[in-house]
Chain A
Amino acid sequence: MSKASDDAAGVDFSQYPDARGHFGIYGGRFVAETLSAALDELEAAYKRFRNDPDFIAELDHDLQHYVGRPSPLYYAERLTAALGGAKIFLKREDLNHTGAHKINNTVGQALLAKRMGKTRVIAETGAGQHGVATATVAARFGMKCVVYMGAEDVQRQSPNVFRMKLLGAEVVPVTAGTRTLKDAMNEALRDWVTNVDDTFYIIGTVAGPHPYPLMVRDFQAVIGREAKRQLLAATGRLPDALIACVGGGSNAIGLFHPFLEDRQVALYGVEAAGAGIETGRHAAPLAAGKPGVLHGNRTYLMSDEDGQILGTHSISAGLDYPGVGPEHALLKDLGRATYVCISDEEALEAFETLTRLEGIIPALESSHAVAYAMKLAPTMRKDQIIVVNLSGRGDKDINTIARMKGIDL
């Protein structure tokens, strides 16, 4: 069952990233000089506070009382029975405040911004979940908030745009390039360069220049730490496999990271195959891309032979990104994690299955992870255990689902 290859066997994962943010050949800090000082300042502040007892206490307090942690680890009994194989547990990040894992990170970064004396936060968002999570913490801390969102996504995700505005954020539609998440990130970086003195850029995933992949991983690793503790308490053992969807990859790293040294636990990251890898209309840089440099880090990217970044497609806006966190790139190369793909169609089927069997409406992003669990579980023994990261709830997706079914809401 274990997928850890010989490459990963002797690796001490705690050595990553190195002092300059490299995960092997990936990661790093590929930015214009205009951003170097801001990143140095951020890195210094994060280094100072990440082990600071007061900071940790405040973060823990907020995670418990504001986010609602720990999130439950739920045994999906009917789904398990229907598949007839390994036991499936769901890590219920959908039950967090604002409905997804994103808030684990925005609470952490906002606390850091407050300590750094920043009065304005900015963010990029695709589906709008990270934008909402950022607008939420900005409201709570009384910070000015600007969210950049591709004009295409503003159309597709109008309920989340409204939520952000209700929370007091300004939502700026980005009309450059492909008008989606990657372009929103470009625009947020441009804002940051211009307003670097008072502004903190809250990146929503484990990508971007160092220290973001490290910092966001640390804030999301609460998912895996809880899951491990909860499963040990419930069953007395570690899982055989973990499954999480991968766009930028923050919910996946959050679940995987505390298990990296447990070599017997297989790790599966699920990318969006969209209309199918062979069609080119997908969002699967690990499965079908190659290493390159974008948004401040070296990682697997979807780019053409000239090095231009390609447009992506997935039914789930949150997976619609041409890059992926550098730590995933390393885990792929080492064989410590296995990256697989799920199509739009398979994700929709899983969405319906989970909704009907368990009474849980999953986000379309998370439905990709559920879909892979539905493939994997029947190949495993009944005494084996899979933990699936249910990274978000699907209320935001009902318009998309209705449209696919030809229903006018």
Chain B
Amino acid sequence: MSRIADTFARRRAEGRKLLVSFFTAGDPNPDVTVPLMHEVVKAGVDIIELGVPFSDPMAEGPVIQAACERALRHKVNLPRVLDMVRAFRQQNRHTPVVLMGYANPVEAMGYERFAEAAAGAGVDGVITVDLPPEEGEELNRALIGRGIDPILLVAPTTKPERLQRICAAARGFIYYVSLKGVTGAPTLDVGDVAAKVQEIRKSTDLPIGVGFGIRDADSAAAVARVADAVVVGSALVRLVEQHQDDTYKLREAMADLVADLRRAIDTIEPVGA
């Protein structure tokens, strides 16, 4: 069983939902990333999503755009992100790591070469934001061939027929983008999210993670009631921005927020349990 499937199974057996954290690799500098990964796991994160910096992150709001720019100032490229994952794996064998980025850096490296290197580094899943299933067949095949899950996005606007195609191509879990807009956008309607998650469940047995618009304990708890995993990104990256000059404070602030979210997720009344 893969690390991702294993983690979902374990939490499901405990009747708990997963907490997924997102931050950009190399932000605010490359030395911070691996310690930060350990820190959030200690504070309660189940899956780490690591952003691969890209010069033109079309789907990101200003917070994650700025994170990409900070990381790129340190020339953090895909091979260096894989080095970070490899370093993390030396002390952590059980927490899944998912890379989230854009197609061009992967194209520049080559699909097969990337899949092989990512598997070797201990990467468990890959989200390529601008690679829908129609364009992603070749990369997804390469990833699956190396035991890595291609994780695909579903949007509020995704039509039923596309949903089938996405679910057929996806592995690991489905990432439901909970609102129209870019990352870090303000509003989230939990009723809408619940309805869409129900619809997605009819098309797949994969677990469903929900991201975009979750910023605090309340929104995390609300989403945890309907989804299998709660993804928090911009709220964490905002802390990186705030404490970019003080690594100690940054780790502390991240740990505090993660612990807060963890508590909120763990104290919900399980639905249908």
Binding site for B on A (CB under 8 A): 20, 28-34, 36-38, 40, 176-177, 182-183, 186, 189-190, 193-196, 291-296, 301, 303, 305-309
Contact = CB atoms under 8 A, between A and B. Distances in A.
A378 B51 CA distance: 54
A20 B165 CA distance: 15
Given A292-B107, A308-B105, A33 B132 contact: yes
A301 B107 CA distance: 12
B181 A194 contact: yes
A401 B69 CA distance: 33
Interface of B: 54-62, 65, 69, 72, 75, 77-78, 102-109, 129-132, 134-135, 152-155, 157-159, 162, 166, 177, 180-182, 185
B58 A33 contact: no
A293 B130 CA distance: 9
A196 B181 CA distance: 9
A193 B181 contact: yes
Given A32-B59, A193-B182, A307 B130 contact: no
Given A36-B132, A36-B157, A177-B55, A307 B78 contact: yes
Nearest to A304: B108
Nearest to B72: A308
A193 B109 CA distance: 29
Nearest to A40: B159
A292 to B, nearest CB: 5
Q: Decide if the interface of chain A is mainly helix, strand, loop or mixed.
A: mixed
A32 B185 contact: no
A32 B65 contact: no
B42 to A, nearest CB: 31
A32 B78 contact: no
Contacts of B102: 293
11 contacts: A28-B134, A29-B134, A31-B58, A32-B155, A33-B155, A176-B69, A186-B56, A190-B60, A193-B181, A293-B130, A294-B56
Nearest to B130: A30
Contacts of B130: 30-32, 293, 296
Given A32-B130, A36-B155, A182-B56, A301 B104 contact: yes
A186 B152 contact: no
Contacts of A306: 75, 77-78, 105, 108
Greatest chain B CB density within 10 A among A195, A305, A306 is at A306
Contact of A176 (B65, B105, B108, B131): B65
Nearest to A296: B130
A266 to B, nearest CB: 32
A36 B136 CA distance: 14
B80 to A, nearest CB: 9
Contact of A28 (B65, B78, B135): B135
Contacts of B75: 306
Contacts of B62: 176
A29 B162 contact: no
Greatest chain A CB density within 10 A among B69, B108, B153 is at B108
B58 A189 contact: yes
B91 to A, nearest CB: 27
Contacts of B109: 307
Contacts of B59: 32, 34, 190, 193
Contacts of A20: 134
Contacts of B107: 291-293, 307
B217 to A, nearest CB: 26
B155 to A, nearest CB: 4
Contacts of B177: 32-34
